[in-house]
Amino acid sequence: MGLVVQKYGGSSVADAEGIKRVAKRIVEAKKNGNQVVVVVSAMGDTTDELIDLAEQVSPMPAGREFDMLLTAGERISMALLAMAIKNLGHEAQSFTGSQAGVITDSVHNKARIIDVTPGRIRTALDEGNIAIVAGFQGVSADKKDITTLGRGGSDTTAVALAAALDAEVCEIYTDVDGVFTADPRVVKKARKIDWISFEDMLELASSGSKVLLHRCVEYARRYNIPIHVRSSFSGLKGTWVSSEPIEQGDTKVEQAIISGVAHDTSEAKITVVGVPDKPGEAAAIFRTIADAAINIDMVVQNVSAAATGLTDISFTLPKTEGRKAIDALEKNRPGIGFDSLRYDDQIGKISLVGAGMKTNPGVTAAFFEALSDAGVNIELISTSEIRISVVTRADDVPEAVRAVHSAFGLDSDSDEAVIYGGTGR
């Protein structure tokens, strides 16, 4: 065997019992002959409690100090986990992000990893230790300040360490059994996916699937690190995310045509009404949005009404950025030139993801038919090579997801995924 990186989330180490349970699982991996590196998040609600304390002393906590504060959470969980492992008779040492060589840029609260220099981890492993590393945190290259990586940062820590240590696999332990063909809370018949390609996982992640964050999968793809997403509670095999299908027992897992259906109700839609239909107008709008540091998702421009020479431009963005975007556009209204703004946060997005749609014509048609049969009205459409997304009313999302999931043969009681005939998508 080789080197395994395991990552445990906050719900897996929420209390002393959880820590002891996780310690046993880690020791099992070690007993199987692996070198084991463990990345751990803060215990359960620790981070929320620290944020609450920060808000009590300052309405706008400074980034540097906020990061210093939050990183106390992983420091506690990693030290306790190392103690629990040693209590089982195995050697373990805990390391902060800084000690583990996780080097980041200087953007506090959402730093990006720019290098990993895991010399101390390597030494600890060579000396027979299980290495426990604080997730979610690093140290800035220029100022040597403590940084945090933002939401889902511990997964990225795990993948980055796996890459730097040339690990065989990065196991992400969580409170679900793996990646599903749809959110099981919405689709009761959702199936656990045995294997999914990096590309499909990236599309699912950017379409609302929350099991793995886009940044983490992107990192894994770049360094070709297989990820195994699995439950820290059940011990079942989970979902493999990798470049090539993995062997499962005697059979080789095949690439599915459709990997899954994702949905997202965290976005809002802004429509800029009465924009002159001339070159540079769209650029002026999106420059304004970009200057406000707001990421947008889908963009649609209506066909211009010939009589007026005016058109409407709609785009979607995180609801949390809605106020900022409206303010920025209003402020630049003289420069852009438009009649009015419409803001709509009662929208939802449904996305069908699967590399198979590149070679299986008719997927798009079947997708729209399924939505139509379910009586769901489509407001916006966007596509990539392996994804189709539509915006609908937020209320329609659960029914739309179930209809699409069923139409593409993804339900757990379906015999086989459906193959489509027809021409083009």
- Told to check if 341 binds a copy of itself by CB under 8 A, we report no
Stretch binding a copy of itself (CB under 8 A), from 86-94, 295-303, 336-344, 409-417: 86-94
Tokens encoding 175 = 């409170």
Pairing of strands 169-174, 3-8: parallel
Dihedral class, residue 424 (left if φ above 0, else alpha if ψ from -120 to 50, else beta): left
Q: Taking the CB of residue 408, how many other CB atoms lie within 10 A of it?
A: 25
Using the rule CB under 8 A, is 76 a contact of a copy of itself?
yes
Q: Are 350 and 261 in contact (CB under 8 A)?
A: yes
Which residue in 69, 204, 229, 258 binds a copy of itself (CB under 8 A)? Answer: 69
| Smallest distance, a copy of itself to C-beta of residue 77, A | 9
Do residues 159 and 225 touch, judged by C-beta distance below 8 A?
A: yes
Distance, in Å, from the CA atom of 70 to the CA atom of 54, rounded to the nearest integer, reads: 10
User: What span, in angstroms and rounded, lies between the C-alpha atoms of 119 and 320?
Assistant: 40
| b (16+ CB within 10 A) / e for 315-352 | bbbbeebbeebeebbeebeeebbbeeeeebeebbbbbb
Residue 185 annotated as binding site: yes
Binding residues for a copy of itself restricted to 227-246, rule: CB under 8 A: none
The residue (of 27 and 272) whose beta carbon lies closer to a copy of itself is 27
Q: Which of 114, 36, 48, 46 is nearest to 82 (CA)?
A: 36
Would you say 61 or 398 has its CB closer to a copy of itself?
61
Residue number with CB closer to a copy of itself (22 or 165) = 22
**Under 8 Å CB-to-CB from 307, ≥6 apart: which residues?**
none
Binding segment (CB under 8 A) for a copy of itself, from list 54-62, 161-169, 183-191, 276-284 = 54-62
Q: What is the DSSP letter of 410?
A: -
Find out whether 7 is annotated in a ligand binding site.
yes
**Of 85-93, 165-173, 321-329, 342-350, which segment contacts a copy of itself by CB under 8 A?**
85-93
Alpha-carbon distance of 221 to 243, in angstroms, equals 7
Considering the rule CB under 8 A, would residue 325 count as an interface residue with a copy of itself? no
Return the residue of 4, 36, 78, 193 that touches a copy of itself, per CB under 8 A: 78
251 contacts a copy of itself (rule: CB under 8 A): no
308 known ligand binder: no
Other beta carbons within 10 Å of 132: 31
Q: Give the integer Cα–Cα distance in Å for 290 and 288.
A: 6
For residue 7, the minimal CB distance to a copy of itself (Å) is 19
Distance in Å, CB of 146 to a copy of itself, minimum = 8
Could you tell me which of 398, 397, 419 has the C-alpha nearest to residue 408?
Answer: 419
Which of 35, 47, 71, 259 forms a contact with a copy of itself (CB under 8 A)? 71
Residue 60 engages a copy of itself in binding (rule: CB under 8 A):
yes
Q: Which residues bind a copy of itself (CB under 8 A)?
A: 16, 19-20, 23, 50, 53-54, 56-62, 64-66, 68-69, 71-73, 75-76, 78-84, 86-87, 92-94, 99, 120, 144
State the binding site for substrate: 47, 74
State the binding site for ATP: 7-10, 174-175, 185, 210-211
